Amino acid sequence: MVNAAKLQLRDSVREAGTLGPNWRVAKLLQSIHCHSGAVDWNVERSCRELKLGISPAYAAQLFKLHTGQGIREYAKKKRLSKVVEQLIATDLPVKAIAAELGYRNAFDLTRSFEKRYLVTPTEFRNANRLRLTSQEVS
């Protein structure tokens, strides 16, 4: 799984480019990929720590221009993809996954997850377990 994440990060950075104004977007993508599970990740802190030399608002504008997505929405999607990985790969309770990935509580995770995938994390886990189990039997 680590190799897949590295490949995805490499592709994202390659998409954003590393020359001209795109280097800032590449740095933001890298920051999101590395810290999207962190409770305190935010655009403001990233701009400051990465020494981008631009305001958070302009960083968000550049990000959207080069990726077609809002930076906060992109970060939310990344964090939810980590939730999906945890639901499939582990037996951790939703509450533990929520704590590990920086959600305030299991309710916040469930609300975000349900909004994106139209099922609760538990329903998602059960459906995918059934599908994986039936594939193993076949």
79-96 tens-digit pLDDT: 899 999 999 989 999 999
In this structure, are 61 and 92 located in the same domain?
Answer: no
Distance in angstroms (rounded) separating the CA atoms of residues 104 and 18: 35
Q: Looking at the 3D structure of the chain, how many domains does it have?
A: 2
Residue 36 has pLDDT above 70, yes or no: no
Q: What CATH number does residue 88 fall under?
A: 1.10.10.60
In this structure, are 16 and 70 located in the same domain?
Answer: yes
Q: Which residues contact 95 (CB under 8 A, 6 or more apart)?
A: 105, 106
In this structure, are 81 and 115 located in the same domain?
Answer: yes
In the 8-state DSSP scheme, what is residue 122?
A: H
The pLDDT score that the predictor gives to residue 108 is 93
Q: 26, 49, 75 — which closes off a domain?
A: 75
Residue 104 has pLDDT above 70, yes or no: yes
64-76 tens-digit pLDDT: 998 899 988 888 8
